[in-house]
Structure 1
Amino acid sequence: MWLKAWHLIGMVTWFAGLFYLPRLYVYHAMSDDQASIDRFKIMERKLFFGITTPGGIFTLVFGFWMLHDYAWAAFGSHLWLHIKLGLIALLVVYHIYCGKLLFDFKHDRNTRSHVWYRWFNELPVLLLIAIVLLAVLKPV
């Protein structure tokens, strides 16, 4: 149960960052004064490297540890687990892309509008719903 507890703590932390970081990008994309732009750069960097990335690492380490300890023997027979791991892979790609966007903002190379970031912000919500439903219901 300790592994599951640490996995869930990491997951909540990771998703908190993935929900808030694109929201900061929305406001950053709308900013036109240098003080706000500089403030968002600091906030985005601290959130990505201080909260979101460590949360993602905790989630993945403890999740794969649980997979190794408890589910590896039955891995081939659980389609829901394959789907969940595929969605987690998409989440990791999303996280990495958020890091790419962070560096674009850092170097003043953002080309996207605040509206695009508002839509971009919805993807982790959909992934969270699907991943949690798969983990709890194990439907397939």
Structure 2
Amino acid sequence: MQQLGERLAAALQAGATIYLVGDLGAGKTTLVRGVVRGMGYQGAVRSPTYTLLEPYSIGCRQLFHLDLYRLADPEELEFLGLRDLIEPDSVIFVEWPDHGRGFLPQADLVITIEYAGEARLLKFESRNEVGVTIAAACNGK
């Protein structure tokens, strides 16, 4: 999952919102960890299971990793300041997006992860062209 995330990092476009769907332990956070590493981040990559949100500044880009499993009410996303985080150059990964229904930006890509014995089966569903094209340069920022 981490290697796949590293490869996915090269294909992400700024402004993308990616929903991650799958059971507990399916590899959603590991996939994001690979993306963060693939984008060049050198620090600790933490799971947002208890904090709900982990932000990463990577060069001229921002990546926000949300895990909404423990979200009691979708309105809590307002208190997290989610609207303020959504910028044209940020990438947002959301685990358990159904818990934030009505308060999340629309997904550009939905990745569903299912168990297949010891392996994983992944389904990629593009909702539009944003987020799945080759990433552009940082425009000197």
Q: TM-score range by the shorter chain?
A: 0.3 to 0.5
TM-score, normalization by structure 1: 0.34
More strand by share: 2
More helix by share: 1
TM-score, normalization by structure 2: 0.34
Structure of greater Rg: 1
Greater length-normalized contact order (CA 8 Å, ≥ 6 residues apart) = 1
